[in-house]
């Protein structure tokens, strides 16, 4: 069987944000076993799984990506929405838009130190939409 729902996240500032709780709250009844696919419906934000305990990890992610692909690269043509426009698209492609997470015993089967991140690459990205699909 397949179930699907959409989740609209609130506005988040630029950076890396734990959204595991929001996703779990949006799915009140996980099956005993299956797979959750999480897809972000945007080209300037991404999702990934990483450290869920120490917030300095998320700060370091932001510093790394800002140094790797800074805003205001003069030779980018795509800058219609501002200096962070094309850099956000590149960062989104590097991180990715989809995750597959196992479901075991009615819970997401994440490791002890794993959490789901919203990776917001825009200074003013706005609300972000996720498509959640449960396969069981």
Average the pLDDT over 94-111 and give the result. 98
| Cβ contact 36:48 at 8 Å | no
Angle at 133 between CA 16 and CA 13, to 5 degrees: 20
Q: Write down the domain spans for the chain.
A: 2-33+41-135
Q: What is the pLDDT of residue 36?
A: 98
pLDDT at residue 72 tops 90: no
Which CATH architecture is the domain 2-33+41-135 placed in?
Sandwich (2.60)
Q: What is the pLDDT of residue 124?
A: 93
pLDDT at residue 115 tops 90: yes
**CB neighbours (10 Å) of residue 67?**
8
Average the pLDDT over 70-95 and give the result. 95
| Cβ contact 46:91 at 8 Å | yes
| Interval 11-63: pLDDT, tens | 999 999 999 999 999 998 999 999 999 999 999 999 999 999 999 999 999 99
* The model's pTM: 0.96
Q: What is the pLDDT of residue 32?
A: 98
Q: What is the pLDDT of residue 28?
A: 87
What is the distance, to the nearest Å, from the Cα of residue 118 to the centroid of all Cα atoms in its chain?
3
């Amino acid at each position: 069987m397949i179930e699907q729902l959409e989740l609209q996240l609130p506005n988040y500032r630029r950076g890396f944000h734990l959204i595991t709780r929001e996703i779990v709250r949006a799915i009140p009844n996980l099956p005993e076993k299956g797979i959750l696919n999480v897809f972000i419906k945007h080209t300037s934000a991404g999702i990934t799984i990483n450290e869920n305990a120490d917030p300095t990890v998320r700060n370091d992610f932001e510093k790394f990506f800002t140094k790797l692909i800074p805003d205001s690269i003069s030779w980018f043509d795509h800058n219609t929405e501002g200096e962070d426009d094309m850099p956000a698209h590149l960062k989104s492609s590097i991180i990715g838009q989809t995750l597959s997470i196992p479901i075991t015993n009615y819970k997401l089967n994440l490791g002890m130190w794993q959490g789901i991140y919203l990776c917001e690459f825009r200074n003013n990205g706005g609300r972000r939409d996720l498509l959640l699909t449960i396969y069981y």
